[in-house]
Structure formats: C-alpha cells, structure tokens
Chains A and B, each alone.
Chain A
Amino acid sequence: MPSLKTLMQGVGALDEETRKGADFDIQPLPGDDEVIQVIINGQEELPVFVTASDSQILCICYLWGEDEIEADAKLELLEAMLDMNIPMPLSSFGRIGNKYAVFGAISVHTTAIEIAHELATLSDNAVDAIDALSEFLR
C-alpha cells in the first residue's frame, strides 16, 4: 500500500490529458506532512486538504462557517444540502467543528488517476455548492 505522499506525488506527475485539464499545486501543510494541501488552478480560494487514516483517504474542501449562515435559513440550508448529497458526484456534505465542507473518501488502495479525478470533481462541487446555496449565506 503506497503512502499518501507517494500517491500524491503520482497525482502531480500525471500528464495533462489524464488530469483532464486540471492543474494541481500539491504541497504538504507546513508542520504536518500528513495533511496535503492541493490547490486547483483557478480555484485558489478553495483549497482541498487530503489526509489519510488506516482505511481511507479523505479529501476535504471547506465551504462556510456556522457564522456565515443567515440566521433563520439554517434548517432550509441543511435540508437543501441533504437533498443534494446523493446526486452530488463523488462528494458529500459534512461538518467539521463549526465549518461545513464537501469531502470525498477513497479507499487507500487507489490510484493517482482516481485521486486526481476526485480532487477536480470535489473542487468543482465546492464552487457549485457555494454558488447554489449562497442565498442562505450572509
């Protein structure tokens, strides 16, 4: 089983065609090389963070904080997120502490191509989700 670092180096080495046009800037977080930050070109404001546990690789993209939600729109927002959760390709909504996120989980037995696909899709999902749900945000 390759390490997360090796897998991510593999993602960085993919050719343009395999990456389907997405450029990745892949950097370990300073001080914690178990978390890798990926910036997808054109979407620098929404970095994707990749980390691995025993069984899965998690790709997480933060969306908004609890404090960005319109005061009386929270229930509606949560329902919209639940409704969108299944159709959204490869990603799901989640919450970590007081931050909402989209994330994708992949088995640790995966390939660089799968991860690249996941990363590009996740980043696009994040942009689309904020765009679609911004009416509930301050």
Chain B
Amino acid sequence: MGLFKKLITAVRGGAREVGEAVVDMNAIRIYEQEIEDAKNNLARAKQDLTAVMAKEMQAEREIKRLADELVKYEGYALDALSKGHEDLAQEVAEKIAEIETEQDSQKAAREQFVAHTRRLKSIMKQTEGTIRQHERELAMVRTTESVQKATRSISDNYGAGATRLLDAKASLERIKQRQQTHYDRMDAASSLDAEIGSESLEAKLKGAGIADAEKAGSDVLARLKRKAAVN
C-alpha cells in the first residue's frame, strides 16, 4: 500500500521538475534493502527448515526404534515371570522404565521440532508475501519512471517542426484519407482487372471464330479481286 499511495500523490501532483524522481530515492533504497533482507531471511529460514525437518525425522526413527525395544523387553519380562525369575523380571522392568523415559523425551523433542517447522513455514510464507508486495510496488515506481523518461524523450523529439505530432482529429483525418486513397486504388485496380478479363474473353471468342475474327491479308486480296472482276 505504501508506495501506491505515494505514487498517486506524485503522479497527480503533475507539474514536477524535469528529472525529479517520482518517489524519493531514499524510500526506494529502503524498499530495496527490505527486499534484500527479506530474501536473506528466506534463504536462512529454508536452511533452518531443512535442518529441523531432518531432526524431526531422526526423532521419529528413534521413537520407532524404542517402541520395538519396548515390545522386545516386555516379552523378556513376561518370559522371566512365567519361568519364576522374579529378580530377572525386576531388572528387565527397570530397563523398560528407562526405555519409556527415553521415548518420552524423544516424543517431547519431536513435538518441539514439529512446532518449529510450523513456525518456520509460516515465517517463510509471510516473508515471501513481503517480497512479492515490495517487488510489485517497486515495479510500479520503476514503470512510472521509465514512462516519464520516455515521455521526455518523445516530447524532445516531437516538440516542434515537421515531426510534431498532430492533434487527434487531424491525424484521424489524414489516416482516413490515406485509407480512402488506398481503397480507391484497389477499386481502380479491380475494375482494370475486370476489363482485362473481358478483353481476354473476346480474344478467346475470336480465336474460336465466334466473334469477329481478325481480317487476314488473303481475305482482303480476295475482296479486291472480286471488285476488279466486277469493274
């Protein structure tokens, strides 16, 4: 939100000095620094996450191993009891209590790792959001600046003289005129095509002796001879 509002104020303010920044450089530097920091935090959080998830998996494996141990020693204890080795059963029971204590502490550690993972993931999500927002806002500032820079170049080039941009109506008029000329030419060309087409039809007819054929020299001579005979 921050830069968006600043941009609106800056752009709506309109008449600013040529070359003046849209948003002061300090604000931009702060944003860039924040993006940089956020990216570093994100990279660190990703590393931490990998480490914590590895520890979580380790704890998980250890819990599983201890559970297997428990089953095994409980079997031993029951065996010892059934065979009347009360003392041995007592010893095994102590071992079982030890394993259970170890298992409890592993479970507590696993809970901590799970919570840590959750916290890191939420931090990463938040950080990614911050980066996205800052980058979008910076893109807006940069775009505004490059448009203003382009506008200055364009008005420098089209400021005056022969290359001056016309007003909208005059431009439209000229474009329409040019299009009309283009269409007229196309019309002329197509009627010319039609004429040439009909000429070629006539030629075909003549060729087939249907329309008036070209007068041949021999025909003329024959006519002249007939005329001479009459006289």
Chain A interface residues (CB < 8 Å from chain B): 29-32, 34-35, 42-43, 45-47, 49, 51-56, 58, 60, 62-65, 68, 96-99, 127, 130-131, 134, 137-138
Q: Is the CB of A96 within 8 A of B147?
A: yes
Question: Quick one: CB contact mask for B146-162 with A, threshold 8 Å, 1 for yes?
Answer: 11111101101100000
Pick from B149, B153, B174, B182: contact of A45, CB below 8 A: B174
Q: Which residues of A contact B27 (CB under 8 A)?
A: none
| B14 interface contact, C-beta 8 A | yes
Do residues A35 and B150 form an inter-chain contact, with CB atoms below 8 A? yes
- Minimum CB–CB distance from A74 to chain B (whole Å) comes to 14
With A29-B154, A42-B178, A42-B182 as given contacts, are A58 and B147 in contact (CB-CB < 8 Å)? Answer: yes
Chain B residues with a Cβ under 8 A of chain A: 14, 138-139, 142-143, 145-151, 153-154, 156-157, 165-172, 174-176, 178-179, 182
Q: Which chain B positions have C-beta within 8 A of A56?
A: 139, 143
Residues of A within 8 A of B172 (CB): 45, 127, 130-131, 134
Q: Which residues of B contact A131 (CB under 8 A)?
A: 172, 176
On chain B, the residues within 8 Å of A29 by CB distance are: 153-154, 157
Given the complex of chains A and B, what is the CA–CA distance between A64 and B168 in angstroms?
Answer: 5
Task: Specify which chain B residues have a CB less than 8 angstroms from the CB of A63 in the assembled complex.
Answer: 168
A-B pair number, CB within 8 angstroms: 89
A29 to B147, CA, bound (A): 14
Cβ of B149: which chain A residues have Cβ within 8 Å of it?
Answer: 32, 34-35, 51
Cβ–Cβ < 8 Å partners of A54 in chain B: 138-139, 142
Interface contact A97-B151, CB-CB below 8 Å: yes
How distant is the Cα of A60 from the Cα of B147 in the complex, in angstroms?
9
Instruction: Give 19 A-B pairs besides A42-B179, A54-B139, A99-B151 with Cβ atoms closer than 8 angstroms.
Output: A29-B153, A34-B146, A34-B150, A34-B153, A42-B175, A45-B172, A45-B174, A46-B171, A49-B150, A51-B147, A51-B149, A53-B139, A54-B142, A58-B143, A58-B150, A65-B167, A96-B151, A130-B169, A131-B172
Q: Tell me whether A127 and B175 are in contact (CB under 8 A).
A: yes
Q: Is the CB of B147 within 8 A of A32?
A: no
Q: Are B154 and A49 in contact (CB under 8 A)?
A: yes
Taken together as a complex, chains A and B put the C-alpha atoms of A31 and B14 apart, in Å, by 25
Q: Closest CB-CB distance, A101 to chain B, in whole Å?
A: 10
A68 to B166, CA, bound (A): 11
B residues within 8 A CB of A97?
14, 151
**Bound CA–CA A130/B157 (angstroms):** 23
Residues in B neighbouring A55, C-beta threshold 8 A: 139, 142-143
| A42 CA to B167 CA, complexed, in Å | 17
Q: In the complex, what residues of A have CB within 8 A of residue B174's CB?
A: 45
State in angstroms the CA–CA spacing of A56 and B136 once bound together.
11
Chain B residues positioned under 8 Å from A64 (CB to CB): 167-168
B169→A138 contact, CB < 8 A: yes
A127 nearest CB neighbor, chain B only: B175
Question: Which B-chain residue is minimally distant from A123 (CB atoms)?
Answer: B175
Query: Which has the most chain A C-beta neighbours within 10 Å: B139, B148, B149, B150?
Result: B150
| Pairwise interchain contact A32-B168, C-beta atoms closer than 8 A | no
In Å, the complex CA distance between A49 and B166 comes to 15
Query: In the complex, which residues of chain B have a beta carbon less than 8 angstroms from the beta carbon of A43?
Result: 175
Chain A residues whose CB sits within 8 angstroms of the CB of B150 once the complex forms:
32, 34-35, 49, 51, 58, 60
- When distances are taken between beta carbons in the complex, the residues of chain B under 8 Å from A34 are 146, 149-150, 153
